[in-house]
């Protein structure tokens, strides 16, 4: 009997010991998980704190780049002349911008213009944003014939003159601007140097059988102070009247 009791007591103690061991192991595992959770939480917060300045810097970088691009777009590149665009531009002369000559201006015209001065018009060939240094003086045929009988024949008009501000002749056009019946002329001027157009081009709209055509391009020759036709042209431009 005593032996049976002793054996039962031993088994109970052994079972309790096993349960205690399991409890100790469970407690150890729980502590380990808690420590791991704390470590992970701390690592996440540290990583977020470290990444924040980098993200702000990345966000700031495109903003700075955009500002720099805007600044660059708003300003001319170093070494670019402000009038570079104007020097390359071309302008089309509008007859509506041509003005009648006053008595003092009419007095500068050659004797061959006598009888036509009332219909003469001054057309300034000015660079964008600059005062004119070259002008075209031409008889406007429509103004000349206004008020005259319809049977009035076409007149022997003087050729249009290119002149400077001192009324010195710089060249001439071979056809009347803007109308040399039945043709109409469109004049373009450009490639500016020191306010002077280096080229003058004239396109002629011709309803006759031959069709439209271009007059020889006039090139500025500073040494001669003349507008001369392209050397490759077979036609000769009219000269300044003596």
Q: For residue range 196-232, what is the model confidence (pLDDT) as tens digits? A: 999 999 999 999 999 999 999 999 999 999 999 987 6
Residue of 134 and 69 predicted with greater confidence: 134
pLDDT in tens, 87-114: 568 999 999 999 999 999 999 999 999 9
- Same domain? For 165 and 221 the reply is yes
- Give the pLDDT band of residue 23 (cuts 50, 70, 90): very low
Beta bridge partners of 193: 196
- Same domain? For 112 and 225 the reply is yes
Domain presence at residue 222: yes
- Same domain? For 104 and 23 the reply is no
Domain presence at residue 110: yes
Q: Stretch 61-71: mean pLDDT, rounded?
A: 40
- Same domain? For 110 and 17 the reply is no
- Which segment of 2-16, 100-114, 161-175 scores lowest on mean pLDDT? 2-16
What is the distance, to the nearest Å, from the Cα of residue 223 to the centroid of all Cα atoms in its chain?
Answer: 33
Q: Stretch 12-37: mean pLDDT, rounded?
A: 47
Domain presence at residue 166: yes
Burial class (CB in 10 A: 0-12, 13-18, 19+), 183: middle
Task: Quote the number of domains for the chain.
Answer: 2
Q: Stretch 46-64: mean pLDDT, rounded?
A: 44
- Same domain? For 217 and 149 the reply is yes
- Same domain? For 35 and 94 the reply is no
- Which segment of 20-34, 45-59, 66-80, 210-224 scores lowest on mean pLDDT? 66-80
| Residue range of the domain that includes 209 | 84-229
pLDDT score recorded for residue 231: 75
Kindly tell me if the per-residue pLDDT of 159 is higher than 50: yes
- Same domain? For 167 and 126 the reply is yes
Domain presence at residue 167: yes
- For residues 65 and 42, give the distance between their C-alpha atoms in angstroms, rounded to a whole number: 36
In this structure, what token pair is assigned to residue 160?
């249009």
- For residues 134 and 226, give the distance between their C-alpha atoms in angstroms, rounded to a whole number: 11
pLDDT score recorded for residue 216: 95
What's phi and psi for 207, nearest 5 deg? -80, -5
- pTM of the model as a whole: 0.64
Domain presence at residue 235: no
- Same domain? For 106 and 208 the reply is yes
- For residues 161 and 220, give the distance between their C-alpha atoms in angstroms, rounded to a whole number: 14
Domain presence at residue 197: yes
Domain presence at residue 241: no
Kindly tell me if the per-residue pLDDT of 78 is higher than 50: no
- Same domain? For 208 and 144 the reply is yes
């Amino acid at each position: 009997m005593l032996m049976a009791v002793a054996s039962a007591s031993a088994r109970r103690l052994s079972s309790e010991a096993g349960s205690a061991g399991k409890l100790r192991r469970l407690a150890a595992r729980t502590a380990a998980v808690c420590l791991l959770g704390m470590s992970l939480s701390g690592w996440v917060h540290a990583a977020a704190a470290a990444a924040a300045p980098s993200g702000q810097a990345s966000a700031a970088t495109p903003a700075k780049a955009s500002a720099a691009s805007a600044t660059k777009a708003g300003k001319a590149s170093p070494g670019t002349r402000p009038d570079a665009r104007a020097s390359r531009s071309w302008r089309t002369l509008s007859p509506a911008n041509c003005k009648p000559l006053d008595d003092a201006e009419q007095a500068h015209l050659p004797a061959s213009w006598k009888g036509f001065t009332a219909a003469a018009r001054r057309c300034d060939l000015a660079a964008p944003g600059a005062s004119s240094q070259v002008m075209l003086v031409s008889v406007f045929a429509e103004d000349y014939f206004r008020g005259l009988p319809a049977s009035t024949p076409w007149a022997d008009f003087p050729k249009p003159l290119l002149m400077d501000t001192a009324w010195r002749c710089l060249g001439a056009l071979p056809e009347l601007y803007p109308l040399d019946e039945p043709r109409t002329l469109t004049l373009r001027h450009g490639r500016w140097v020191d306010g002077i157009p280096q080229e003058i081009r004239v396109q002629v709209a011709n309803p006759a059988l031959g069709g439209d055509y271009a007059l020889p391009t006039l090139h500025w020759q500073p040494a001669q102070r003349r507008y001369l036709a392209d050397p490759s042209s077979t036609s000769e431009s009219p000269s300044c009247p003596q």
